[in-house]
Chains A and B, each alone.
Chain A
Amino acid sequence: MNKVWVSVCCLLLSFGSVAGERIISAGAGVTELLIALDKQDDLVAVDLTSRYPAVSKLPVIGYHRQLSAEGLLSLAPDTLIGSSEMGPQSTLDLLAQSGVEVMVLPTETTTVNLLDTITLLGDKLDRKPQAKQLITKLDRDINQLEANQQQIKTVKKMLFLLLNDKGTYTAAGSNTTAHSVMTLAGAVNPAAELNSYQALSAEAFLAMAPESILVSGRHWKKYQDIDTLIAAMPLLAETPAGRNKAIYVIDGSALIGGLGLNSIEQAKQLQRKLYPHLSTNLD
């Protein structure tokens, strides 16, 4: 009974806010959140990196650091939502001058930021219940992820490799979403002392001796199995990961736009695969 009431209220509330708010999203992470908060009908345009099926038909405003003021204004937006990386500042000022609300969200690198952002969006965009629901689920997921981390006896070394045609060994260091995902899943990143994506020399790669390799689904399509990968990157065969054929694939879209909902989801899946023996079940 309660559930029905809640649904009806939500329905009524959502009708109330159908009074046409026009939102432009300048970031993949922002778009993801807006879709999760059920605001995709109000989106009128998205940026270059927001490649989600739900918004595939929307006009693209280009790169979020090079926004065209007149281009945005021609879409008659009420709100522009993006990260602190949005720019140029002159465009944002002009939009504000024209009466557009410019909402700058903190760049999500930590889970705390993510939760705060969802709360903020929920308040501002009249999606408090959805936001609350989302936060509850995320909180639970994150707590479980962290609880599980405590249970891990031997932490596995996992390295994210950015696959490319040249066969160089480019790893993800700190300050990358890949790193955050791996850490959440309970793995340790031997490339943590590096910043952002860095190409490793053959020796450095071997020294890291990863026990498992993580790659992006988009690049994995080319290889499909670890033997093909080892053929292209022969040094892999010398690592524990190569010997044990321990390779994992993550959805590429989870790596764009900072730590987002899909990133958490991928972290959960990864943890399940890495440590299948963990007692607490994640759903």
Chain B
Amino acid sequence: MFVNSRWALLLPSLVLCCLASMVVLSVSVGPMAISFADSIKALLVDWVNWQAPVSAQNAIVVSNIRLPRTLLCLSIGGILGLTGAVMQGVFRNPLADPGIIGVSSGAALGAGLGIVIFADLMVDLPDWLQLSTVSFFAFTFALAVCLLVYKLGTSSQGSSVVVMLLAGVAISAIAGAGMGMLTYIADDQSLRDLSLWQMGSMAGSNWISITISSITLVFLLVVFMSSAKALNILLLGDAEAVHLGIDIVRLKRRLIFCCAIGLGVAVSIAGMIGFIGLIIPHLVRLLVGPNHQRLLPLSAMLGALLLLLADILARTVMAPSEVPVGIITALLGSPFFIILLLQQRSKLGI
């Protein structure tokens, strides 16, 4: 569509501007009625001595509630958009979702275990350790499932994407059965917690989670950008990539594991937030084409943008209550995806 170079250069700057505006919006909008000016003042209260003092409560709301959430949306949204783009490249499948290799179901199972079974065991541990029980389990299981799927899909002959996809389906089924079992034995409280976890929430923002997710995002960007050209060539086919000198076994392993780590971090902090990894890379491809050198950074930026928007809506539409953010991303994402599907129908043969 708009693949000429002028647009391609302009777009990242445009997106960055939108992102910056969304950040400002996110910090100044919320169930608490704080004027825009006051929000900005509260944000800068540590650096500027304002004439009219900022109320302590406003300062807390902006700096300790809205700002951490905003930053977390940036990093988690970025991770989700980025891993989505890479997964679609590795699996040469534009309909691939980051959870396609079973990472999401593994994480869900881990979180389920953490909530239903081990919650009781962890009651005597100090607070900070307890809070991360669910995160720890979600992350470890996400990684374990990824490892299993990769091992199943790889042999001495190389790796097969098809086998990995099928293994992902099978393991998701097992994880689903496990979840069913947990749902069955859980008490009402755990059941509620579990279903809320599965719908995702950015409410758990603290400086630890922000640091971890930001570091992960930077790490992923570095690794993936260095493989951007190789990812392009991978789209030609495994054989062609080998002929051009790419060690596809190592490449795929590196990419899949990095995606698993990124997804594990995202899911363990924010629960299951769907559609970003699926929709955003498509949107970016429609705008700037499939070249990963442009696709990857833009997917990260637009992923952050979408999650920010969804989070703003999540905390304002039903105030003082909060809608799980996964619901909003699904509501925003699904209609768009249907439109996309209708557009692409001809390419898919109908």
Contact B31 A71 (CB under 8 A): yes
Distance of A69 Cα from B66 Cα, bound (Å): 10
Q: Is A252 in the interface zone, CB < 8 Å from B?
A: no
Given A70-B30, A71-B31, A196-B187, also A45-B320 (CB < 8 A): yes
Chain A residues with CB below 8 A from B321, complex form: 48, 60-62, 68, 71
Total A residues in contact with B, Cβ cutoff 8 Å: 31
B61 at the interface (CB under 8 A from A): yes
- Beta-carbon contacts of A79-119 to B below 8 Å, as 1s and 0s? 00000010011110010011100000000000000000000
Number of B residues with CB within 8 Å of any CB on chain A: 30
Is A74 a contact of B319 with CB atoms below 8 Å?
yes
Q: A71 touching B60 by the CB < 8 A rule?
A: no
Cα(A224)–Cα(B31), bound, Å? 44
User: Is B247 an interface position by the 8 A CB rule?
Assistant: no
B322 touches A71 (CB 8 A): yes
Question: B201 on the interface (CB 8 Å rule)?
Answer: yes
Are A89 and B322 in contact, CB atoms less than 8 angstroms apart?
A: no
The reply to whether B32 and A85 contact each other, CB–CB distance below 8 Å, is no
- Complexed CA–CA distance, A98 and B34 (Å): 15
- The 9 A-B residue pairs with the shortest CB-CB distance, nearest first, are A71-B320, A62-B321, A74-B31, A68-B322, A74-B32, A196-B187, A71-B31, A70-B30, A70-B65
User: Which residue of B127, B189, B196, B320 contacts A85 across the interface (Cβ within 8 Å)?
Assistant: B189
Given the known interface contacts A63-B196, A65-B193, A98-B56, the answer about A70 and B127 at a Cβ–Cβ threshold of 8 Å is no
Inter-subunit contact B32/A98 (CB<8 Å): no
Across the A-B interface, how many residue pairs have beta carbons closer than 8 Å? Answer: 86
Chain B residue contacts of A89, Cβ below 8 A: 127, 131
Q: Which residues from chain B sit less than 8 Å from chain A, CB to CB?
A: 30-33, 56-57, 60-61, 64-66, 127, 131, 184, 187-189, 192-193, 196, 201, 203-204, 206, 315, 318-322
Chain B residues with Cβ below 8 Å from A90 are: 203-204, 206
Known: A68-B322, A71-B315, A196-B187. A99 touches B57 (CB 8 A): yes
A45 to B318, CA, bound (A): 13
CA–CA, A60 and B319, complex, Å? 8
Task: Give the one of B60, B187, B203, B320 with max A CB within 10 A.
Answer: B320
Q: Is A14 an interface residue (CB 8 A)?
A: no
B196: chain A residues within 8 A (beta carbon): 63, 65-66
Q: From the candidates B30, B203, B319, name the one contacting A91 in the complex (CB within 8 A).
A: B203
- Closest CB in chain B relative to A26 CB, distance in Å: 12
Q: List 11 A-B contacts (CB under 8 A).
A: A61-B321, A65-B189, A68-B321, A69-B61, A70-B31, A70-B61, A73-B60, A73-B61, A73-B65, A94-B65, A199-B184
Q: What residues of A have a CB within 8 angstroms of the CB of B187 in the complex?
A: 175, 195-197
What separation, in Å, do the CA atoms of A63 and B60 have in the docked complex? 23
Please measure, in the bound complex, the distance between the C-alpha atom of A85 and the C-alpha atom of B193, giving whole angstroms: 11
Q: Give the distance in Å from the alpha carbon of A199 to the alpha carbon of B192 in the complex.
A: 18
